[in-house]
Structure 1
Amino acid sequence: MPDVEPTSTLTGRPTTALYRTRITQLRRSPVHHHTERCSYSWYVDIDDLPRLPRWLQPFARFEGADHFHGAPDDTLRQRVDAVLADHGVHLPGGRITALLLPRVLGRACNPLSLFWCHDAQGVLRCVLAEMQHGGRRHAYLLPPGEYATPFDGSGGQYVIRAPLPDEEVDLRMSLFRDHEAAVVATVRGTRRPATVAHILRLQVTAPLAPQMTALSMRIHDSVLRLRGVPAMPRPAEQLERSPHTVAVRPGWTAQKCSWMPS
């Protein structure tokens, strides 16, 4: 339906899309543990969010309050812009696309959301990654290449590979300890049109995606605790002092890559 799929003026194709995803996590140390589940994600332009029929909206709502921090009435674009501005990034007129889970039947759960930030000329300038776990939200500003290392912590170093989704989405996040990948998580899927039929089909093949995601995370954490694995290391404490503090890859700072009109 046209009202579900706004069309990009850059590519001439619908921006809004669905990705039926398979999510895996492989833990190699201190114990070997593998999980795999199916879900889905929406790919959207945050300035032109999908306009679903009223009767379908409970199965896909996009609320600014589900991401980052800000005033209760802030839009998603306002919250993303605030995070970028706090780190010296200004993209007036720039397009921002995102891969995320919507709110379904009043519940939101987004362990990893990604925002690809373009300038007014359509050039990808940076990627903003948001991780949510245990009620905490952390933001990481990544350079536009496929690989980035958001932060170094006592528990290791995260590496995120987040190429812009196309016909396929292929994301990879690894936690390295002692130069070896201790944990590797992937999100892979194929693009599908965001039609009413596909949205309804997903409510059958992957029902209550946010609720099931939250349940899966709790079960996964409980199993690891029973096997004696400590909780995942938290990012540096400085990330919690300000809601918009952003960790960046060593040697790359957004202040050096700020795009404001001259």
Structure 2
Amino acid sequence: MPLRHRFRYRTYQWLVDVDRLPRRRFSAKDHLGLGPSLRDNVATFTAAQGVQLRPDDRVLMLANARSPFGFVFDPLSVFWCLSSTGELRCVVLEIHNTYGERHAQLARPDAAGRFTLPKQFYVSPFFTVDGRYDVTLRLDADHVSVAIDLVQHECRVFSAAFTGQPRPATRRAVLKAALLTPFVTYQVWALIRMHGVALWLRRLPVIHRDPHIPPEGVR
């Protein structure tokens, strides 16, 4: 029998241009590599995957910001790489697990924002590194969303989705978001562990984890 477990929470993320990052909220070392800038890290990774970013390309990132105490945890960060005319060149999905490892994959969505990627990274302790991700992304002026289904043996075994409305990061908007969802990056970190313990107590088997070797362009 499949074990069903669902939850839904209020949260928020930042949608930012990597060339115009808010001060003290983002660090290059939190994403992909150890280069001098976040854009350099993205460009290094995409080049290793066969996509050379041009100087006038724009890169938008959907991710969690660092807390006032410097902590950040991003299960999934999404990078949209756009030409100077707004054409989507590729997207990069960067995944962090709770074991301090990270992985990234490049994709080219279709016109509807859909694409498929093979599962290559140990994320949940309850799933093997097998199967595929069916992903749908949406990014426009009034809506941003990320939906991911994990498919194993042609069965959907896990689904996750984030949806929101982009708003200018005014002081009032940032304060309101922080008051409605305080310490958001700690919340994400804690909730993942809480639900993991709940599933373990329901006797869901834990899958052995082998050490991860990041792909070229990721450290």
Structure 1 length as normaliser, TM-score? Answer: 0.72
Matched residue, 2:159: 184
1:26-67 CA distances to partner (integer Å, 9 max, x unpaired)? xxx73000011111011111011135xxxxx5xxx1111111
| Equivalent position amino acid for 2:73 in 1 | C
Matched residues in 1 for 2:97 and 2:75: separation? 6
Matches within 5 A, 1:12-91: 30-51=2-23, 61-71=25-35, 74-91=36-53
Would the aligned equivalents of 1:30 and 1:229 in 2 still touch at CA under 8 Å?
no
| C-alpha contact 1:91 1:118 (8 A) present in aligned 2 | no
CA contact (8 A) 2:103 2:215 kept: no
Match of 2:137 among 152, 162, 167: 162
Q: Say which SS state the counterpart of residue 92 (structure 2) adopts.
A: strand
Total equivalences in the alignment: 205
C-alpha RMSD of matched pairs (Å): 2.2
SS at 1:191 equivalent: coil
Say which SS state the counterpart of residue 2 (structure 2) adopts. coil
Give CA deviations for 1:241-262 in whole Å, capped at 9, x if unaligned. 54526xxxxxxxxxxxxxxxxx
Structure-1 separation of matches of 2:179 and 2:207:
32
Alignment partner, residue 67 of structure 2:
104
Could you tell me which amino acid in structure 2 is paired with residue 35 of structure 1? F
Query: What's the offset of the Cα at 1:180?
Result: 2.2
Aligned twin of 1:126: 90
TM-score (norm 2): 0.85
SS in structure 1 of the partner of residue 117 of structure 2: coil
Question: Matched residues in 1 for 2:84 and 2:92: separation?
Answer: 17
Kindly indicate whether structure 1 or structure 2 has the higher relative contact order, using CA contacts under 8 Å at least 6 residues apart: 1
Q: 2:81 aligns with which of 107, 117, 123?
A: 117
Q: CA distance change for structure 1 residues 124 and 241 in 2, over 3 Å: closer, same or farther?
A: closer
Deviations 1:187-236 (A, max 9, x none): 011222211001111221100111111001111111112222234797x9
**What amino acid maps onto 1:82 in structure 2?**
T
- Residues 117/49 of structure 1: CA separation in 2 closer, same or farther (3 Å cut): same
Structure 1 or 2: larger strand share? 1
* 1:244 alignment counterpart: 217
**CA–CA distance in structure 1, aligned partners of residues 159 and 215 of structure 2:** 28
8 A contact 2:63–2:76 mirrored in 1 = yes
Aligned counterparts of 2:119 and 2:180: Cα–Cα separation in 1: 38
Change (3 A) 1:168 1:232: farther
Q: Which residue type is aligned with residue 141 of structure 1?
A: L
Residue 114 of structure 2 corresponds to 147
Decide which of 182, 206, 225 is 2:200's aligned counterpart. Answer: 225
SS in 2 for 1:184: strand
